[in-house]
Structure 1
């Protein structure tokens, strides 16, 4: 028996009585996000499909049994004669991020890094490559969502390339419900774990003896398992809280220490595994020992520890964040929410924080989430409704959905795609109507028909429904400087479809230099819509000189938008940016936005767009010293040309 199979069997044995789990294929990524799927399959059926395309992405919500399915794939794949390698990304930490960023960019080096750090250590890529061509090879990578930021996209790209490079090799990757960038969706099968059938639950427990709230949770194998152990409560949060309090044997002060330590692990290590010294103060060592002895905290071979389920860690970190409102005020919300969600890769903890909060604080927190990342607010809202449906006011829900729906019409393709993906997660009539709006005017009409549920909604609705093309009022310019993020960002978005006077343009430029960082960012966001020299000059200054990265990021996005308005502006954009590329490269996030923003929506690219923008990419390739980096810039140029042909 290989070490990988042994690890998988140990995991499965620890679960005890096995629950029957099924999966199903989805037609494409969008169908996956909407939950539209084909007929049920066993996990053995997935093994057969893996041979056809060599690539399967298994995506589902937390608690849907993905990790269990992945271990069953390891065991059954090996039993069928394949050479199977398991990579467990739940042990990703800050050191792993540094190691990943320091490696060369080739697919072989990337997969070797994962095998060495998160595999059993028995094989590397060369070992797999040297096996006979007739020998089936299966790479099982569990927990793509455990990695921070764009690392998940990079891993997926490496998996795609390895499936092509190694003969008779397949990869199966598990992830949360979030769209990743693939090298071509048609190369992958998309699959999802199905809900546990109620008749399957009845085989293991007396369903009718449970409360209605508890029965509602039995579509998740995680909660079926809790019910089998007599530990299921009326909500996910109540179940997890009870487990930690009853098994952890901590008093209120001890729980506070555990919560602070759990948040510190996410913030400092970007990991679900951490040094037990993260538990603070004199009580810290005692809390760690108590949690280890009770099995809530598990010791890992490297001396680090991890909670026995990621939801326990999420709950404790969320409890701490909810108890410290200053962590989600404007100055701290970006860093705090990046930490809590692995930079927007996992949103269960956001849902738990909302359930911890009381009344008005729930909406205030979700507004902070929106200010941090509007697309993430959509994903988080979908998770909230899955875990605690009654948590969010109708007013705020409608506002978030409508603002996402307007993003569908963004000139930047990837922004529009992310907004549509977030909307795909909702199936109610209001969300479907907004998602289906053919243009902004249709969307504005839908919003105009909404009753005014609150004072905030009335103010927002008046602003959002301003007709496109009309002259901007001074009050709308004023609203850009609002402290309320919903009103401030709505004003910035609405102004992009209005016209300005010369005095209003001067005022926006003044705000871009003199407001607080988020206000400067909003002003720069507005400037991408109007081809005025004063806006262009301000943006070229802000993109390299503003001390705040968000402002520089927004300036880059708006500069690209300005350049997209005509062939002449496209040429001028390249001439403007080329001398600044070295300075722009000092901020990886701003350079990444240049790479993203140039992919334009259908019908938005001038005829010379990819040719002109490629001049920037080849300029970077010319100064690159690493052949892999040179190739990456060349590939980006090729990808843009292909995208423009399809979007023409």
Structure 2
């Protein structure tokens, strides 16, 4: 028995009584996000399917049994004569992120890095390559969502390439319900874990003895397991809280220390595994000891520890964040929410934080999430409604859904697609109507018909429903500087479809010098809507000189938007950005957004767009000292040409 198989078997044995888990294939990524699937399959059916196409992406919500399925595939694949190798990304940490950034080689070296750090250490790519061509090999990569930011896309690309490079090798990757860059969706099978059938739960314990609220949790294998063990409560949060308190034997002070340590681990280690010194002082050491004794914390190699399920870690970190509102103030929310969600890769902790909060604080927190990342707010709201009893106000829910729906009409194709992906997760009639609105006017009509749920909603609705083409009022321009971010960002969005007087344009320019970065960011957003020499010059200064990365991010998007207005403006954009690219590249996030923003929506592509923009990409390729970087710039240019032919 290989080390991988032994580790997987030990993991499964520790889980206790096995639960029948089913999966299903989805036609494409969009169907996966919508939850539309074909007939149920046994989890074991994924192994022959992997052999057919070489690539399977298994995506589902937290607690849906993905990690259990992946380890069953390791064991069952080996029993069937395959060489199965497990890569467990739940052990990703800050050091891994830093090493990944320095990695300059190709797909083989990338997979070797993952095998060395997150596999059993028994196998590398060369071992797989030297096996006979007739020998089936399966790389099983669990927990893509445990990696921060764009690392997940890089890993998926490496998996895709290795499946092509090594004869008779396939990859099965597990992830959350977030769209990734696949280098061609037709190369992959998309699969999802299905809900546990209630009759399966009945085989293991008396379901009818549970309270109705507890029975509603039984579509998740995690909560079926808790039911088997007699530890299921009336909500997901109550179940997890009871587990930590009862098994960890913690009082209120101990829970606070555990929460502080859990959040510190996410913030400092960027990982589910961490050094136990994250629990501060002698009292923290005592908490670590009692959590270990109760099986809440488990020992890992090199003196590190991890909670026995990621939901336990999410709950404690969320508890700490919810109790410290300063962490989600404007100055700190980006860093805090990046840490809590692995840079928008996992949103369970957001749902738990919402359930910890009450009343206005609940809406205030979700509004902070929206400010941090509007697409993430949609994913988080869907996650909240799926796993939590936390209820947000109808007014804020409508606002978030409507503002996402308006993003579907964005000139930037990838922004529009991300908004649609977030909306695909909602199944109620109101959300579906907004998702399916055929143009902005139809969406405005839907919002106009909504009753005024609150004073905030009435103000927001009055702004959001302003018809395009009219001259903006002074109040609308003033609203860009509102402290309330919902009103401020809505005003910035609406001004993009209104006409402005010379004096109003001057006021937007003045806002680019405001002491608060968020006001400068909103001003950048507005300026992308008009071909105005003063706007262009202001944006060029901001994109290289502003001290705030969000402002520079907004400036590059608006510069691309202006450049997309005509062939002449496209040529001007390239001339403007060429000499500034080195400075822009000092901020990886801004450079990445430039690469994304140049992909335009259907009907928004001026003649010769890809030819002009490729001049920038070729210039970067010429400066590249690394063949991998050079190839990436050439590929980006090729991808843009293909996209533009389809979007013209």
- Structure 2: distance between partners of 1:206 and 1:401: 39
Q: Where in structure 2 are the equivalents of 1:241-280 lying within 5 Å?
A: 241-280=241-280
Q: Where in structure 2 are the equivalents of 1:309-328 lying within 5 Å?
A: 309-328=309-328
- Structure 2: distance between partners of 1:486 and 1:280: 37
Q: Give the CA deviation at 1:390.
A: 4.8
- Structure 2: distance between partners of 1:546 and 1:44: 54
- Give SS of 2:56's match: strand
Residue in 1 aligned with 2:27?
Answer: 27
Residue in 1 aligned with 2:369?
Answer: 369
Residue in 2 aligned with 1:378?
Answer: 378
| Contact 2:235–2:389 (8 Å) recurs in 1 | no
Aligned length: 648
Residue in 2 aligned with 1:455?
Answer: 455
- Structure 2: distance between partners of 1:12 and 1:92: 21
- Structure 1: distance between partners of 2:181 and 2:484: 33
Question: Which contiguous aligned blocks of 4+ residues in structure 1 show a shift greater than 4 angstroms?
Answer: none
Residue in 2 aligned with 1:73?
Answer: 73
- Structure 1: distance between partners of 2:555 and 2:461: 27
Q: Where in structure 2 are the equivalents of 1:180-259 lying within 5 Å?
A: 180-259=180-259
- Structure 2: distance between partners of 1:126 and 1:497: 57
- Structure 2: distance between partners of 1:478 and 1:613: 35
Residue in 2 aligned with 1:9?
Answer: 9
Q: Give the CA deviation at 1:514.
A: 2.1
Q: Where in structure 2 are the equivalents of 1:317-396 lying within 5 Å?
A: 317-396=317-396
Q: Give the CA deviation at 1:127.
A: 1.1
- Give SS of 2:512's match: helix
Structure 1 residue 307 corresponds to structure 2 residue 301 = no
- Structure 2: distance between partners of 1:475 and 1:129: 67
- Structure 1: distance between partners of 2:612 and 2:108: 33
Residue in 1 aligned with 2:126?
Answer: 126
- Structure 1: distance between partners of 2:284 and 2:46: 45
The Cα offsets for residues 86-112 of structure 1, whole Å up to 9 and x where unpaired, read as 000000000000011110141111111
Residue in 1 aligned with 2:474?
Answer: 474
> Aligned-residue CA RMSD in angstroms?
0.7
Q: Where in structure 2 are the equivalents of 1:483-632 lying within 5 Å?
A: 483-632=483-632
- Give SS of 2:230's match: coil
Residue in 2 aligned with 1:421?
Answer: 421
Q: Give the CA deviation at 1:126.
A: 1.2
The Cα offsets for residues 493-524 of structure 1, whole Å up to 9 and x where unpaired, read as 11111111111111101101224101100000
- Structure 2: distance between partners of 1:641 and 1:77: 41
Q: Give the CA deviation at 1:360.
A: 1.2
Q: Give the CA deviation at 1:358.
A: 1.2
| Contact 2:259–2:319 (8 Å) recurs in 1 | yes
| Contact 2:351–2:383 (8 Å) recurs in 1 | yes
- Structure 2: distance between partners of 1:183 and 1:360: 43
The Cα offsets for residues 597-641 of structure 1, whole Å up to 9 and x where unpaired, read as 001111111111000000000111111111111111111111111
Residue in 2 aligned with 1:176?
Answer: 176
- Structure 1: distance between partners of 2:522 and 2:478: 12
The Cα offsets for residues 424-463 of structure 1, whole Å up to 9 and x where unpaired, read as 0000000000000000000000000111111110000000
- Give SS of 1:302's match: helix
- Give SS of 2:599's match: coil
Q: Give the CA deviation at 1:570.
A: 0.3
- Structure 1: distance between partners of 2:147 and 2:415: 21
| Contact 2:92–2:147 (8 Å) recurs in 1 | yes
- Structure 1: distance between partners of 2:186 and 2:87: 24
Residue in 2 aligned with 1:282?
Answer: 282
Residue in 2 aligned with 1:431?
Answer: 431
Residue in 2 aligned with 1:403?
Answer: 403
* Stretches of structure 1 lacking an aligned partner (at least 5 in a row): none
Q: Give the CA deviation at 1:123.
A: 1.1
- Structure 2: distance between partners of 1:92 and 1:139: 17
| Contact 1:105–1:629 (8 Å) recurs in 2 | no
